Amino acid sequence: MAKVTGGDILTKQLRAEGVDVVFNIGADPMTLISAAMAREGVRLINFRHEQANGLAAQAYGYITRRPGVAMVGSGPAMTNAITALETARSNCWPFLLIGGNADVNKRDRGDFQEAPQLAAAAPFCKWSVAVDDPRQLPYYAHQAIQKMMSGRPLPVYLDLPASTIAGQVEESEVTYFPGAPPPARPLADPQAIRDAVKAISEAKRPLLLLGKGLAWSDAADEVRQLVDRLQIPFVASPMGKGIIPDDHPLNAQGARTFALQNADLVFLAGARFNWIFHFGQAPRFAPDVKVVQLDIDPSEIGNGRPTDVGLVGDAKAVLGQMLQEVGRKNRPIETPWLQALETEKHKNAEAIAGFVNSDQAPMNMYQMYREVVKMMDRDATVTADGENTMAISRIMVPNYLPRHRLDAGPSGCMGVSTPYAIGAQVANPGKQVFSFNGDYAFGWNGFETETAVRNKLPIVFIVANNVTIGGPQARELGGNRSVTEQPTGIRYDRIMQEFGGHGELVETPQQIRPALERALKSGKPSLVNVVISSQPARKKQAHDWMTGRSTRQQY
Query: How much is the pLDDT for 25?
Result: 94
Query: How much is the pLDDT for 539?
Result: 60
Rg of the chain in Å (alpha carbons): 24
Report the DSSP pairing between strands 502-506 and 475-476: unpaired
Residue 428 has pLDDT above 60, yes or no: yes
Question: From CA 282, how far away is CA 261, in angstroms rounded?
Answer: 8
State whether residue 209 is helix, strand or coil. Answer: strand
Query: How much is the pLDDT for 472?
Result: 44
Task: State the alpha helices, DSSP H only, in 294-409.
Answer: 315-326, 336-356, 365-372, 387-396
Residue 32 has pLDDT above 60, yes or no: yes
Q: How far apart are the first and last CA of the chain?
A: 77
What is the distance of C-alpha 466 from the center of its chain? 25
Question: From CA 190, how far away is CA 325, in angstroms rounded?
Answer: 9
Query: How much is the pLDDT for 115?
Result: 82
Query: How much is the pLDDT for 304?
Result: 84
Q: Containing H/E element for 4?
A: strand 3-5
Q: Are 326 and 229 in contact (CB under 8 A)?
A: yes
Residue 215 has pLDDT above 50, yes or no: yes
Residue 547 has pLDDT above 80, yes or no: no
What is the distance of C-alpha 463 from the center of its chain? 19
Give the closest residue to 22 by CA, choosing from 8, 9, 6, 11: 11
Question: From CA 393, how far away is CA 365, in angstroms rounded?
Answer: 9
Query: How much is the pLDDT for 555?
Result: 28
pLDDT one-digit tens code per residue, 307-325:
999 999 999 999 999 999 9
Task: Check residues 544 and 235 and name the one with the higher pLDDT.
Answer: 235
The stretch 480-502 carries a mean pLDDT of 78
pLDDT one-digit tens code per residue, 56-113:
999 999 999 999 999 999 999 999 999 999 999 999 999 999 999 987 776 767 666 6
Question: From CA 175, how far away is CA 444, in angstroms rounded?
Answer: 42
Strand segments, DSSP code E, in 73-163 are 95-101, 127-130, 155-161
Sign of CA dihedral 112, 116, 122, 128: positive
Task: Check residues 414 and 483 and name the one with the higher pLDDT.
Answer: 414
State whether residue 384 is helix, strand or coil. Answer: strand
Give the closest residue to 412 by CA, choosing from 68, 48, 83, 152: 83
Give the closest residue to 125 by CA, choosing from 87, 76, 89, 79: 89
C-alpha triplet 531, 536, 541: angle, nearest 5°: 140
Q: Are 97 and 154 in contact (CB under 8 A)?
A: no
Q: Cβ atoms within 10 A of the Cβ of 517, count? A: 11
Percent pLDDT > 70 in the chain is 91
Task: Check residues 289 and 469 and name the one with the higher pLDDT.
Answer: 289
Report the DSSP pairing between strands 433-438 and 468-469: unpaired
Confidence of residue 234 (pLDDT cuts 50, 70, 90): very high
Confidence of residue 231 (pLDDT cuts 50, 70, 90): very high
The stretch 486-502 carries a mean pLDDT of 89
Q: Are 230 and 326 in contact (CB under 8 A)?
A: yes
Query: How much is the pLDDT for 1?
Result: 63
Question: From CA 101, how far away is CA 160, in angstroms rounded?
Answer: 6
* Cβ neighbours of residue 452 closer than 8 Å, sequence gap 6 or more: 421, 422, 425, 459, 461, 501, 525
Query: How much is the pLDDT for 541?
Result: 60
pLDDT one-digit tens code per residue, 239-291:
999 999 999 999 999 999 999 999 999 999 999 999 899 999 999 999 999 99
pLDDT one-digit tens code per residue, 98-152:
999 987 776 767 666 678 899 999 999 999 999 999 999 999 999 999 999 999 9
> What mean pLDDT is reported for the chain?
92
Residue 550 has pLDDT above 90, yes or no: no
Question: From CA 136, how far away is CA 327, in angstroms rounded?
Answer: 51
Q: Containing H/E element for 148?
A: helix 137-149
C-alpha triplet 157, 390, 95: angle, nearest 5°: 10
Q: What is the 3-class SS of 301-326, one letter each residue?
A: CCCCCCCCEEEECCHHHHHHHHHHHH
The stretch 363-368 carries a mean pLDDT of 95
Sign of CA dihedral 463, 468, 470, 473: negative
Give the closest residue to 4 by CA, choosing from 164, 178, 142, 159: 164
Lowest mean pLDDT across 38-42, 365-369, 471-475? 471-475
The predicted model scores a pTM of 0.93
Which contacts qualify for 404-409: CB closer than 8 Å, 24 or more apart?
404/242, 404/379, 404/380, 405/238, 405/239, 405/241, 405/242, 405/381, 406/59, 406/62, 406/63, 406/239, 406/381, 406/382, 407/238, 407/239, 407/383, 408/384, 409/87, 409/90, 409/91, 409/238, 409/239
Q: Are 22 and 42 in contact (CB under 8 A)?
A: yes
Residue 549 has pLDDT above 50, yes or no: no
Strands across the sheet with 309-312, in order? 234-236, 206-210, 265-269, 290-295, 309-312
Confidence of residue 328 (pLDDT cuts 50, 70, 90): confident
Report the DSSP pairing between strands 43-46 and 526-531: unpaired
Q: Are 113 and 76 in contact (CB under 8 A)?
A: yes
User: Which residues face 293 on adjacent strands?
Assistant: 268, 310
What DSSP designation does 191 have?
A: H
Percent pLDDT > 90 in the chain is 85
What are the chain's domains? 3-173 (3.40.50.970), 190-343 (3.40.50.1220), 358-531 (3.40.50.970)
